[in-house]
Structure 1
Amino acid sequence: MSELAVETVHQNIHQRQSIGHLAEPAPDAAQLERAFQAALTAPDHHRLKPTRFVVVHEAQREAFGELLSQALADTGQTEAAQLERVKHHPFRAPLLVLALTQLQEHPKVPHFEQILSTGAAVQNFLLSLQAQGFSTMWRSGAVVESALFKKALGLTEADLISGIIYIGTAVKAIPPRAAMQTSEFVSDWKK
């Protein structure tokens, strides 16, 4: 890999940030397919493929907002303002993608590895979209624990809604992330 290619990859990684409000355009079918292909290259012990994605297109956002409100109520939320507020969350972006983890029993692959595999898949997905000129926001919250929400997505109680990914084009530029001091997070192992 050339030095320019390495720099381009690292620049893409360092520039990726969550953007709270996204507008058109969203990725087209070919761009989204490219991002899903990147996602599915994530590390995956024994190739169990625990990660699934569900696309919520622009025309489905209102109905999806209703489902979010019902799911939040299912978690015990009773405050009317909160239940109404969550109905509008899908309108933060023109396209939403749900990341799901369908956990499988395997003697050599614990659930935590399957969850990490989905996390890696989502990161690949986000970076692919970033490289194609789009912005994203990966969210979860109490709603992802709702049994009603899981059932609506065809999941079991044990499966996970690993996040709702909002996708579109940034409305405004945000400042770059400050450089991190890796010495605060990295150490050498000593015997």
Structure 2
Amino acid sequence: MTNTLVDRLHDTISQRQSVGHLVAPAPNQQQLALAFEAALAAPDHHRLKPTRFVIIPSEKRAAFGELLSNSLASTEMDPVQIDRVKNHPFRAPLLVLALTTLQDHAKVPHYEQILSSGAVIENFLLSLQAQGFASIWRTGAVSESNALKHALGLQHRDLIAGIIYIGTADKHMPARQKINIDEFVSTWSDA
């Protein structure tokens, strides 16, 4: 790899950040396909492919908002907040659900499958970033909802790993501060 390519890769990684309010344009089918290909190249022990994606197109956001709200109806959440959830899908022109379907495997425990799913999602976000789009990966009470899991055809043990909101940043985001790696990296010593 050339230094220019390495620099671009590192810039994409270090500058990726969550953007809370997104506007059009969103990726087209070809751009999304490229992001899904990058996502599914993530580390995956025994190639179980535990991560699935569900696209929520722009014109289905209202119906998806109703599903989210209804999925929380039997919880102890404040009814006003439950009603607000209906509008969450309108924070971006495109939403993608990331689902983790856990499999029983003698050599791949569930936690490895969950870690793999996280790597898949990060690759997805980075590919979107490299293509000029912004995103935010959200979870929260709705991702824990068994009613929503059921509506999506998931088993109780499976995970709604997140709702990924995708579009274009509606304002310029300041660059992230450089991280001092010395605070997070050490060298092991047997002494």
Calculate the TM-score normalised by the size of structure 1: 0.98
Q: Post-superposition shift, 1:31?
A: 0.3
Secondary structure of the 1:136 match is: strand
Question: Which residue is equivalent to 1:177?
Answer: 176
1:147 corresponds in structure 2 to: 146
Structure 2 residue identity aligned to 1:139: R
Q: CA deviation at 1:9?
A: 0.2
Percent sequence identity is 62
Partner of 1:118: 117
Superposition deviation, residue 76 in structure 1? 2.9
| Amino acid corresponding to residue 59 of structure 2 in structure 1 | A
| SS of equivalent residue, structure 2 residue 73 | helix
Name the CA distance, whole Å, in 1 between partners of 2:167 and 2:119.
Answer: 21
Where 1:61 maps in the other structure, the secondary structure is helix
Name the SS for the 1:26 alignment partner: coil
Contact 1:75–1:145 (8 Å) recurs in 2: no
CA contact (8 A) 1:92 1:166 kept: yes
C-alpha RMSD over aligned residues: 0.8
Paired position in structure 2 for 1:106: 105
Instruction: Give 5+ residue unaligned stretches, structure 1.
Output: none
Aligned to 1:11: 11
Quick check: 1:23–1:168 contact (8 Å CA) kept in 2? yes
Q: Which amino acid aligns with 1:58?
A: S
Q: CA deviation at 1:61?
A: 0.3
- Measured after TM superposition, the shift of residue 145 of structure 1 is 1.0
Identify the residue that residue 29 of structure 2 maps to in structure 1. Answer: 29
Q: Note the residue ranges of structure 2 that are not aligned, 5 or more in a row.
A: none
Q: Counterparts of 1:75 and 1:105 in 2: how far apart (Å)? A: 30
**2:75 equivalent in structure 1:** 75
CA–CA distance in 1 between the matches of 2:69 and 2:176? 33
Divergent runs of 4+, >3 A: none
Amino acid paired to 1:140: T
Q: Is residue 102–residue 160 contact of structure 1 (8 Å, CA) maintained in 2? A: yes
Contact 1:75–1:143 (CA under 8 A) maintained in structure 2:
no
**Does the aligned pair in 2 maintain the 1:75–1:142 contact within 8 Å?**
no
Give me the whole-angstrom Cα distance separating, in 1, the residues matched to 2:149 and 2:123: 24
Give the paired residue count. 190
Matched AA of 1:10:
H
The residue that corresponds to 1:53 in the other structure is 53
